[in-house]
Amino acid sequence: MTVVNRQAPARSSGTRRRGKVLEQAILDATIEQLRTVGYVGLSMEGVAAVAGTGKAALYRRWSNREELVGAALSSVLPDPTAIPLSGDTSADLLALLRCMRDAIAVTHGTVFQVVRSEAAEAAGGMMHVVVGQRVMDPCHELIRDVLRAGVEAGRLRPDADSRMIATVGPAMIVHYVVHTGPTVPDDYLVSIVDEVLRPLTSARANG
């Protein structure tokens, strides 16, 4: 009896989490649920159970599953603008492709799970907005900046900074994820740079 009485306060102390501490626990639980059951299997009840709280704590902060997952994704996505670019075209392109790869990995391919499932169109759109605005779109623009710098330095062909060429690397990552899975190996990214982007953009390719 004594042991049971000592354990009860420890269990209830976890329910007294408030504010940012509880919110972070819920976001962590959401990411964990994405990893274990995927977006389609994720529920407010399941997240609450993993976080060790009640559904009411979730609904006080987020109106539905889509808002909760959007907040959780935003909390873990990498910041492309924080990548230290070196001025080396190949190295910088690889760093930006790795950022995109890491964004997909940390979200466990959530966006593409939605695309491949029969989940609500609005939910899929929301996922694309979160990941797109936070990572994919900025990475795409930074890739164009890197290519533009290479063009201005005379290292790349004059049209190497076109939007079409800047899309090649990201498109190859998406293709890999959709057809193979959310874990993109580093040597695949290196191959994109060395075997596709470098020959495609080289100044010698134009002359």
Is 146 in contact with 89 (CB distance < 8 Å)? Answer: yes
In this structure, are 70 and 113 located in the same domain? no
Query: Among 43, 75, 107, where does a domain finish?
Result: 75
Q: Check which CATH number belongs to the domain holding 30 and give it.
A: 1.10.357.10
30 vs 42: CA distance, rounded Å: 8
In this structure, are 145 and 182 located in the same domain? yes
In this structure, are 40 and 116 located in the same domain? no
Which phi and psi (to 5°) does residue 108 adopt?
55, 35
Query: Among 75, 104, 128, where does a domain finish?
Result: 75
In this structure, are 109 and 138 located in the same domain? yes
3-state secondary structure of 202: strand
Query: Number of folded domains in the chain?
Result: 2
Two tokens, residue 150: 């290479």
Two tokens, residue 2: 């004594």
In this structure, are 101 and 194 located in the same domain? yes
What is the Cα gyration radius of the chain?
22
75 vs 147: CA distance, rounded Å: 30
Query: Among all chains, which residue has been given the structure tokens 């873990």?
Result: 76
In this structure, are 9 and 68 located in the same domain? yes
pLDDT tens, per residue, the chain with 207 residues: 444 343 333 334 444 667 899 999 999 999 898 888 877 788 999 999 999 999 999 999 999 988 898 899 888 889 999 999 999 999 999 999 999 999 888 876 665 555 444 444 445 555 667 778 888 899 999 999 999 999 999 999 999 999 999 999 999 998 998 888 888 999 999 999 999 999 999 987 554
What pLDDT sits at residue 139? 95
Which structural domain, as residue segments, surrounds residue 34?
2-75
In this structure, are 58 and 82 located in the same domain? no
What pLDDT sits at residue 6? 39
In this structure, are 193 and 97 located in the same domain? yes
Is 89 in contact with 156 (CB distance < 8 Å)? Answer: yes
Query: Among 49, 75, 101, where does a domain finish?
Result: 75
**CB-facing half-sphere around the CA of 84: CA atoms within 13 A:** 1
* Partners of 202 in the β-ladder: 156
Q: Check which CATH number belongs to the domain holding 160 and give it.
A: 1.10.357
